[in-house]
Structure 1
């Protein structure tokens, strides 16, 4: 188990600036007009607020790393799970606290860790925590590829049908917007087949034929789909949910149940809990927090208390 505690890191200067990563395109831009109000409410904590500037996801991640290296006393992400994913790369395993203002299409990490769904209310909660010096630890997951490449994620790693659909949608140039994802689903449903996965859970090997594999630090992904409904980001463990040899009709019947988390009672679904998950299959690129991540094979390790939340 990878344990991270505040004692492992130097203290953060309490008067330093609050770095803010805002994604104006999150949620298709519907909350863009709230940004000045969110920044104003964060400033009520009595610390300088420093917006970070970036034009790409890679620049956003680099800006977060630079802000932390320059002495930011906190980092706040305004956006969805993708924005959170970029931001936590900079603060994971450090003493720099983090706040999430949900303003995206999918706000699963913010919801699963108790931030208000309203962006302004979330900003008020974060500002109050900053004023009071209050944080609470939550877990993250750390994934490592065969070549040693390593990244953190906050919510769920998808390594089955949903990851395959995302990969196809990202390769498509037409149509635009949500229709691209809908078309990718139709294409991949026509090609649906179980794939052979090898899972090694805390050293115990499992060979499975499956169409759905998810490794959750939190319960939800995709904007409220409770794919790992029993996952708890404070228990030091990862939840693994495997959907077995579904055919197209059965998968489409079961998929709506994921929003309620009741799919885990289906006889073709198996659930596990482990500290370390080794996962391999041919031709799968994973998606973590909705972002394109690492190719299989990879290892996911629970990182207890790796993030200090401003809540």
Structure 2
């Protein structure tokens, strides 16, 4: 379990601006017309609002880090889980209050921490918390790669079939849109085979042959799939769900059950809970909060109360 000391980070300026990270492409741009109303409701708190300049994911992270350094009083992310992922790289372990406004195609983190699905309702909750100076502690997870690279995530780390499908879809140039992901699923289903994983959970080793492996700080990923249905982002623990030697037919049958979280009752699924998860397998690139993350092997460590949520 990772100890996080907010005192090691820049002081939060109570009179500083509310920094707002906007992903204009979130939700394929469908919610773009809401932006003026969302910003107006944040400005109604009486604090200055500053939209962070960011055209790329790297620029978004850099802008969030600069906002923390320059004395923002809060950070609000308008987007989906990918936008949250970029924001938490800058604010994990700091005292800076954070509010995620669900505008993406996948808004699992915002839903799992109890914010409304409607963006206007969510920003009202965040604005009320800003006025009252109210935050709630929420856990994060910290990944560390073999070379020492560190990345935070808020929701779920995928290290099995779903990560392989994402990697395939990201390499494809055709077709565009969601059909590319659907095609990647078909290609990888045809190539499906269990992989040998080495798991070390709080120091206890497990060798498993598996198709699905997820390490959850929260319950959901992929737009409402409850892969780690019992995960609680306030318990200081990580939930690990392993789907074993599924064949194609069984996996196709079980996958819809993930939306309800009932897949964990299947005899080929095992669940674990740990503070530290060491995970190794050949040829797997992981995805965290839906974003391409680190190659295996890596270590995931629970970071209790690493985020101050505006709620």
Q: Find the counterpart in structure 2 of residue 277 from structure 1.
A: 277
Q: For residue 289 of structure 1, what is the aligned residue in structure 2?
A: 289
Give yes or no for the alignment of 1:45 onto 2:77: no
Unmatched runs of 5 consecutive residues or more in structure 2: none
Residue of structure 1 equivalent to 2:135: 135
State whether residues 221 and 227 of structure 2, in contact with CA within 8 Å, keep that contact through their aligned partners in structure 1. yes
Per-residue deviation, 1:55: 1.0
Corresponding position of 2:120: 120
- Which stretches of structure 1, 4 residues or longer, exceed 4 Å deviation after superposition? 5-11
SS at 1:110 equivalent: helix
Contact 1:279 1:297 in 2 (8 A): yes
- 1:227-281 Cα shifts (integer Å, max 9, x gaps): 0000000000000000000000000000000000000000000000000000000
Give 1:15's aligned residue.
15
Structure 1 residues 32-75: Cα deviation after superposition (integer angstroms, max 9, x where no partner): 10001000001111100000111111111111111111111110
Unmatched 5+ residue regions in structure 1? none
Q: Deviations over 1:115-163 (max 9, x none)?
A: 1111111111111111110001000000000000000000000000000
Corresponding residue for 2:254? 254
TM-score normalized with structure 2 length? 0.99
Q: Which residue of 2 aligns with 1:96?
A: 96
Stretch moving more, 66-75 or 5-14:
5-14
- Contact 1:212–1:243 (CA under 8 A) maintained in structure 2: yes
Question: What is aligned with 2:83?
Answer: 83
Deviation (angstroms), 1:3:
2.4
Comparing 67-76 with 200-209, greater Cα deviation is found at: 67-76
Moved more, 220-229 or 55-64: 55-64
User: Is 2:220–2:226's contact at 8 Å kept on the other side of the alignment?
Assistant: yes
- Offset at 1:10? 5.7
1:3–1:305: 8 Å Cα contact kept in structure 2? no
Alpha carbons 2:145, 2:296 under 8 Å: kept: yes
Q: Please give the alpha-carbon distance, in whole angstroms, between the structure 2 residues aligned to 1:58 and 1:125.
A: 28
Q: Whole-Å Cα distance in 2 between the matches of residues 273 and 153 of structure 1?
A: 17
Is contact 1:31-1:103 (8 Å) kept? yes
- Alpha-carbon distance between aligned partners in 2 of 1:131 and 1:89, rounded to the nearest angstrom: 25
1:11 Cα deviation from its structure 2 partner: 4.2
1:154 aligned to 2:117?
no
Q: For structure 1, which segment, 49-58 or 9-18, has the greater mean C-alpha deviation from structure 2 after superposition?
A: 9-18
Query: SS of 2:59's equivalent?
Result: helix
Q: Deviations over 1:1-45 (max 9, x none)?
A: 112255555641111000000101111111110001000001111
Question: Relative to 1, partners in 2 of residues 1:170 and 1:268: Cα closer, same or farther, differing over 3 Å?
Answer: same
Which whole-Å CA distance do the structure 2 matches of 1:64 and 1:289 have between them? 17
Show the counterpart of 1:105. 105
TM-score, with normalisation over the residues of structure 1? 0.99
Task: For 1:70 and 1:274, locate their aligned partners in 2 and report how far apart those are by CA, in whole Å.
Answer: 36
CA offsets, 1:137-196, max 9 Å, x none? Answer: 000000000000000000000000000000000000000000100000000000000000
Which whole-Å CA distance do the structure 2 matches of 1:229 and 1:44 have between them?
37
CA RMSD of aligned residues (A): 0.9
What residue in structure 2 maps to residue 220 of structure 1?
220
Q: Secondary structure at the match of 1:83?
A: helix
SS in 1 for 2:164: helix
